[in-house]
Every structure is written in structure tokens, then in C-alpha cells.
Chain A
Amino acid sequence: MLGRYIIQRLLHLIPVLLMVTIIVFLIVHIIPGDPILVMLGVDPEVGATYTEEQYQELQKMLGFDKPVYVQYFRWLMRLLDGDLGLSLQSRRPVMDILLERYPATIYLAFMAFITVILIALPAGTIAAVRQNTIVDYTAMGYAMWGVAIPNFWLGLMLILLFSLKLGILPSIGYESPFEYPFKFLQHVFLPCIVLGTSMAASVTRYMRAEMLEQLHQDYVRTARAKGLPPRMVIVKHAAKNSMISIVTILGLDIARLLGGSTIVETVFTWPGVASLLLEGIYARDYPIVQGAVLIIALTYVAINLFVDITYKWLDPRIKLE
């Protein structure tokens, strides 16, 4: 049953991904800008030193003299062979570049996600249980602050405090968690606090609202009436039922973590996919943009699939069809 459902969902993915690639391909080709000039190293601070012959040669070699739909089909055909093409700027395979950058994004997203869960779920639950008390006001105050604070500013402030004043954490960079686990934790701490804080703030509000709703349901009253300990009522009954909508929000938030962490990646020089996508757009490096969007889209739909399966676990009444 579950296997069939997953296969069905995977088949649905094909048109979705196809549409995503067509739309992105069209958009990056429609926006003004010439990738060949970027490739030739034309720099507004220096000026051009190329020849027209070089320009034409590159244009022909890269197929930019062909109509956009021809270029798209060529790209698609290569994709079916598992080839995402070469980056226009670095002339390295897009797949290699994605494999270098994707793990950094995933690790950061994962750590930030853990931060969100560790902050938002307890904070939202306690705020709901202790509604209209100082605990509730503090949690909601944090939620307002966390949403309003710009990531760029918070990032720099944390660097000033932890790197400059206290000197206990590095201000920039990334290390692989498998090669240097301790260094990785040092490097990931500040970025995941910045990413996690703003995201946890909104999840806290949702969690509080959901919990408040659940706490007023009949089954909670019944559970209390039959003498269950309050902790069990809250954790096992109310919190679990609140999780259905929270899981949906968390699923969408992970997607935001994957594609939307550009500012955090910039402040902490974190070599992830979000900044790669941005660099690709600036340089009109079409294959990079296509590849990065594709991998973000794939991850996004995979997470959504996972979220849908999680519903079933949280509420066995839900049927996966």
C-alpha cells in the first residue's frame, strides 16, 4: 500500500520537475545579460579584452546561437543521460559542483531544523499550557523578535559577540562533519542559530495556537477527567495531535532552509547551494542555475513526500492514496 503510494507520488514528480525546469530555463534566458561576456572575464572595473572572433567561437561552441527551445531540448537530452552539463564560468561539470555544495546545505539545514525543533516545540507547548502568564508573554515576545530580526544583522552581531569579543567561535567558513566533526560543530553553530531563530519563532506561534486548540478539545477534557497525569495529557495527547499541522509547516520550512539561506551563507561564507544559485544567476551561468534549481526542487518534493507519510504515522485514520 505504502510502496504503491510512493511509486505513484514519484510518477507525479516527473511533470512537476519538467515544468520547473522549463519555467526556470525560460526565466534565466529572458532576463537580460550575456553569459559569454562573463565567461570572457569582462569586468566593469577593468573593461573588455576579447576579440569578436573569440566571442563568436564561444557562442557557437556553447550553442547560444540556437533558439531557446533547441537549447532546452539539448539540455534535457543530456539530463536524461545523467549529464547536467558544464558550468559556463568554471567549465567544470555541474554535477561535481552540486555534489560539492549540496552536502553543506543539507548539513546546515539539518542542524537548523534540529534547532527549530528544540526551541519551537517546547516553547510553543509551554506557552499554550501557561497561557497569559509571564512564560507565555516571554515566548510570544521571542516569537515576535525572531520573526522581525533581519538575518544579516543577527549574523553579524553574533560574529561580533562570539568571534570578536569572546573569541570562542570562528567567524567564517565550513568544515566537513565527517572529516572534522568538532570543527564542523564550531562552524555550524552561529549559522544554525541565525537560521533556526527566525524559523523557530514562527513555528513557536503555530505550535502555541495548535496546542491551545487541542487543549480545549473534548478528548483532552476526558483524558484529564479519567485522571491521566497532566504531562501525559499534554505530551501524548494534545502535542501529538498538534503535530499534524506543525509537520506541514516544518516540511515547508525545510524547503525554505534549502533555497532561502542565501543571506546566512553569505554572512558566514558557507559554501551551500543557495549561494551557488545566486552566483549562477548573477553570472547567467545557465547550467548551474538549472542544476541548482533541480536539486532544490527534488529535495523539496522528497521532503513533502516524507511529510505526507508522516501524517499516516501521526494519525492512522489518514489514508494515503
Chain B
Amino acid sequence: MARYIMIALTWALLINFSIPWESAWGEPKRGGTLTMAIRKDIRVLNPLVRTSSTDASIRGLMFESLLTLDEKGKIQPNLAESWKISPDGKVYTFKIRKGVKFHNGQEMTAEDLKFAIDYTLNPKNSAYGIRILSSVKGAEADGKYTLKIRLKNPNPAFLSFLINIRAFSAIPKGSVPEGVRKITNFPPGTGPFKFVKWQPKQRIVLERFDGYWGHKPYVDRFVMRPIKNATVRFTALRAGDVDIVERTSYEWVSQVQKGRLKGIGIAQALYANLRGITFNVAGPPFNNKKLRRAVGHAVNKEEILSAAFFGFGKVDDQKYPKGHTWHFEGLPYPEYNLDKAKALLKESGYKGESIELITAPGDVQEIMATVLQAQLKRIGIKVHLAIMDVAAYNERERKGQFAFRFRGGDFRADPYPTYSRHLICEADLKRRIANVSGYCNQEIQKLLKKAESELNTDKRRELFHQILTQMAEDLPLLWIGFIPRFFTYNKNVKNFTTDADGRFRWSGGGVTHTWLEK
């Protein structure tokens, strides 16, 4: 159980940062339509495909996971009421909540959950959770209300994979066809909102599900309007065309905080994104460790965050923030020191050649890249920027055709999935998947293997300390810091909160707990 307490502690730390701007909201009121401007439209009406980022937030209103986390960050029952783990740690038996209804009125059973797991594990379906569930051997329904999941090896982090819909969510058996086929409607889910309609690029309309087993939403309808441009989104809020805005630009948040714009509330997702630099360590010039560390000493993280994020970010050197259980003090990451940077640069044998920094387009990304370019110039490294759209950027990463790049990141409840993706050696460096830097350290591979199935928390912590020490020394990745995201809302919106990830609905609230003051 110690490992769950660990997860609980870490999440408790994160979730509590989301505090509403007003404490006294008054009595909840029923009814009305809540409208939110979102950054991206949905693309696929399949709850098991594209379950990250904004897509995940939208799906999270209609679909649910087996487990959840409470406000203190403790793993709690959700669609599963209780669970047992076999002594060898390989079989997880879940008792499924009785009387949970899908939006079509049908009762959810273990067969439905088995279907979702099988669907996810079938590579033909391009389901997002396939990698998360890579430790799963198979699932079976034992009667209507018992689900057994068999693992290939014991995995102490397994329950933490089931706390959100990234891995899979409950849908009726057979409700999505196999393969990449046309799906015209979301299948029924079990969540507090049910899908009504999608008008591409205009609106996604959800309706309160009266048969929901948990806390029912206060509003009748929740409408999401996809507006790509952040300025246009915020203007729509001020014009009263929407009630809430997702991902408000930092400039506007700063204006609201300074009191220059009145009547607008803010909800902060403190650790929504982590920014960092990835070096391509499998090829020149950054297969040279001294050059990587020279860059590390030359980077002024504060300066980057204040230029690109109006000072909203928090500098960090790891994937877990300071104070988190999985944050380690004293790792040998290079500190900002231009003298050391210059000395290492000299030792590295760098001859003044221009190095390409690839970056995705967007104000923030381009500012970060430009600041980094200027910082490296101070020690004599020439950098040229290659700004490319996401499709080209992803392709360059996969093929390893870059020197270094900026990328975002996030962290999971457990450090294994959080870090292993950057550390497990890629089978083919021309087809990189998760470990984009191409970093491959055999000692780390051994330590990771042990950490993956180590059940003792102290030993596991020690293993990760060793892994991260080596990683900090070799520096395939240089983390810059955590970047918050902001929701802004008009004064008629009451009790809207978000979690550290910036989801629309979380265990402590979100749009299900929001009401409109008429």
C-alpha cells in the first residue's frame, strides 16, 4: 500500500494549487447553457483515440475511467468499486460498480470494459492507450460485475494508469468498429454529460446526463466553441459570446491580474506544461557531452520564462516540481554559469559551426527559441532557427533529423512512465517514437528494468535517484520549467475550478460543479 500513499501524496501537492478566485460563491443554481471557447476542435469521434491534451478534457466529460483520484490525490474507486491484487502482482481483479448506466440507458458491465481494453490493445485501431497498457497481457469478464486484468509482469504503477481516460474508458461492447473507419457519433459513455451534436469548427454540444451515477452537473448544456487564435478567444469572452476561455494568452492574464480588465475571473492549472530542450545525442554536434553541458551552463531559464510567458513559469530541472515526492534535490544538472560554459565549449572542440534549433510555430515557441539563440551567442555558439509546422516537426523528430529542439512534456502519477519514455533505447534511430533524443545508456536500462517491477517504495526511490543522477550527468534533456495555463471566465460563471493539468472536469470540480448566475 505504501506505493499508493506515495502517489496520493504527490497528487495532493498538485491538485491543491487550483483555488477559485472567489471563495464565497453562494448557493448553486440549476440550468442554463455554459459556453467555453476551446483551442482545438475535436477530430475523431472515438473516445479511445486521441485522448491527450484538449481532446482528453472534452472526452473526460462524457467518458470515464475505472479509477480516479480524490482531492487529496488518493486513488479512489470510480467505475470500479474495489480491487484486489493477486500475491504475485500479476492479476488485478476489479469489482465493477452496479447500476452505472450508459447514455443510451444500457447498464455497464465487465464485458464492456473488456471490450474497451481489447480494442485499445489492437494496433489496428490506433488507440492512444496502447502504450500505456503495454504491460497488460489481457482482460476477462468474470460474470457481470467482475473484471480481471492480467499483466505480463508485476507493475507497481499499474493502478495509476487507470486513474484517467488516457488508457481507456468505458463504452458499450461493439459500439466502435475495428480499424480506422468512419465513426459518425461518439458512442454512449457513462460520464456526467452526454454527446448531443458536433458542428465541425463551430460547436460541440453536450447535455447533462440525468441518469449519471455521481455528481450531476448544475448546467443543462455545455457548449464548446473551437477558436484557434488566443486573442480572438479572449475577445469572444469580453464580448460575452462565451462564458469561459481555455488557454488564455499570458498577456491577457497579466492584464487581468494587474486589474486593467475588470469582471474577469482566473482559474490556474499550475503544472499544465513542462518545457525543455532535447538534444539529439545520437548524432553530431550534440553527441558531444561537453557541448551539451556547455549549453546547459549557458541557458538562463528565468530569462526564457520571463520573455515567453510574462514571468508566469516556474524554473525547474526535473519532470516533477520542487516539493513533489519524485523530485530529487542535488542532481548534477548544469547551473547557469557563463565561465563554466565557455570553458566546456573550448574543451568540446566546437569550431563555430552553425547549429539548427527546430521549433514548432507560435508566439511562445518562437520567443523561447529566439531567446535561447541569443543566450548561446553569448558564449559563441551560432544557432539558426528552423520554425516548422507540427507535421514537419514530428517527422524530423521521428527520423532524428535535428540537432536540438524545444518540446513540451507532462508527468504522470508514477515516475516510471514519466521518465522511461526518454530513457528506453529506441530500436531504430531512424524511427524514434518516444525517446526522441536517441539517448541509450545500458546502465540506465538495467536500473529501469528493476524499477519497473520493484514493489518497495524506498528501493524504487533509490533506483530512480541513480537513474536521474546519470541522466542529469549525460544531459540528453535539459528541462527549463513548468508553465501554467489559465482559464478566464466572466462574472456570471460561478465555482469553476481546474486541476494542475488544466482539465475541464476533475475530482474536485470543473464544469460539472459550475453554475451560472443569471
Q: Tell whether, in the assembled complex, residue B179 and residue A61 are in contact, meaning their CB atoms are under 8 Å apart.
A: yes
Tell me whether B200 is interfacial, beta carbon within 8 Å.
Answer: yes
Inter-chain CA distance A267–B239, complex, in Å, is 14
- Kindly identify which residue among A54, A86, A159 contacts B126, using a CB–CB cutoff of 8 Å: A54
Chain A residues near B407 (CB-CB < 8 A): 44-45, 47
Q: Tell whether, in the assembled complex, residue B392 and residue A41 are in contact, meaning their CB atoms are under 8 Å apart.
A: no
Chain B residues near A213 (CB-CB < 8 A): none
Tell me whether A35 is interfacial, beta carbon within 8 Å.
Answer: yes
Q: Nearest-CB distance from A32 to chain B (Å)?
A: 4
Q: Tell whether, in the assembled complex, residue B131 and residue A51 are in contact, meaning their CB atoms are under 8 Å apart.
A: yes
Inter-chain CA distance A54–B128, complex, in Å, is 10
Q: Tell whether, in the assembled complex, residue B123 and residue A57 are in contact, meaning their CB atoms are under 8 Å apart.
A: yes
Chain B residues near A35 (CB-CB < 8 A): 391
Q: Tell whether, in the assembled complex, residue A266 and residue B408 are in contact, meaning their CB atoms are under 8 Å apart.
A: no
Tell me whether A65 is interfacial, beta carbon within 8 Å.
Answer: no
Inter-chain CA distance A32–B399, complex, in Å, is 12
How many chain A residues touch the partner (CB < 8 A)? Answer: 58
Per-residue CB contact flags for chain A residues 157-168 toward chain B (1 = under 8 Å, else 0) read: 001100110010
Per-residue CB contact flags for chain A residues 20-43 toward chain B (1 = under 8 Å, else 0) read: 000000000001111101111111
Known: A33-B392, A41-B50, A44-B393. Contact between A58 and B241, CB under 8 A? no
Known: A156-B235, A170-B241, A269-B225. Contact between A50 and B126, CB under 8 A? yes
Inter-chain CA distance A210–B66, complex, in Å, is 73
- Find the B residue at minimum CB distance from A61: B180
Inter-chain CA distance A230–B173, complex, in Å, is 79
Q: Tell whether, in the assembled complex, residue A92 and residue B232 are in contact, meaning their CB atoms are under 8 Å apart.
A: no
Tell me whether A72 is interfacial, beta carbon within 8 Å.
Answer: no
- Find the A residue at minimum CB distance from B55: A41
Q: Tell whether, in the assembled complex, residue B52 and residue A282 are in contact, meaning their CB atoms are under 8 Å apart.
A: no
Chain B residues near A198 (CB-CB < 8 A): none
Q: How many A-B residue pairs have CB under 8 A?
A: 175
Q: Tell whether, in the assembled complex, residue B273 and residue A45 are in contact, meaning their CB atoms are under 8 Å apart.
A: yes
Chain A residues near B44 (CB-CB < 8 A): 89-91
Q: Tell whether, in the assembled complex, residue A91 and residue B53 are in contact, meaning their CB atoms are under 8 Å apart.
A: no
Per-residue CB contact flags for chain B residues 232-260 toward chain A (1 = under 8 Å, else 0) read: 10011011110000000000000000000
Q: Which of B12-20, B320-328, B427-435 contacts A (4 or more CB under 8 A)?
A: B427-435
Tell me whether A52 is interfacial, beta carbon within 8 Å.
Answer: yes
- Kindly identify which residue among A54, A91, A159 contacts B239, using a CB–CB cutoff of 8 Å: A159
Known: A35-B391, A54-B126. Contact between A46 and B200, CB under 8 A? no
Known: A38-B390, A97-B200. Contact between A50 and B239, CB under 8 A? no
How many chain B residues touch the partner (CB < 8 A)? Answer: 64
Tell me whether B205 is interfacial, beta carbon within 8 Å.
Answer: no
Tell me whether B492 is interfacial, beta carbon within 8 Å.
Answer: no
Tell me whether A300 is interfacial, beta carbon within 8 Å.
Answer: no
Q: State which residues 158-217 of B face A: CB under 8 Å.
A: 179-184, 199-202
- Find the A residue at minimum CB distance from B242: A172
Tell me whether A171 is interfacial, beta carbon within 8 Å.
Answer: yes
Chain B residues near A172 (CB-CB < 8 A): 225, 227, 232, 236, 241
Tell me whether B398 is interfacial, beta carbon within 8 Å.
Answer: yes
Q: Tell whether, in the assembled complex, residue A269 and residue B43 are in contact, meaning their CB atoms are under 8 Å apart.
A: no
Q: Tell whether, in the assembled complex, residue B201 and residue A44 are in contact, meaning their CB atoms are under 8 Å apart.
A: no
Q: Tell whether, in the assembled complex, residue A37 and residue B391 are in contact, meaning their CB atoms are under 8 Å apart.
A: yes
Q: State which residues 117-149 of B face A: CB under 8 Å.
A: 123-124, 126, 128-132, 134
- Pick 26 A–B contacts, CB within 8 A, sort by A: A32-B388, A33-B389, A33-B391, A34-B391, A38-B390, A39-B126, A44-B407, A47-B434, A48-B433, A51-B130, A54-B126, A55-B433, A57-B123, A61-B179, A90-B44, A90-B200, A91-B44, A91-B182, A91-B183, A156-B235, A164-B238, A172-B232, A269-B225, A269-B227, A271-B200, A276-B201
Taking A37-B398, A86-B182 as known contacts, 11 extra A-B pairs with beta carbons closer than 8 A to each other, sorted by chain A number, are A49-B129, A51-B123, A52-B428, A54-B123, A54-B130, A91-B183, A167-B239, A170-B241, A171-B235, A171-B241, A269-B201
Shortest Cβ-Cβ A-B pairs, 6 listed: A33-B391, A45-B408, A271-B201, A163-B239, A34-B395, A37-B394
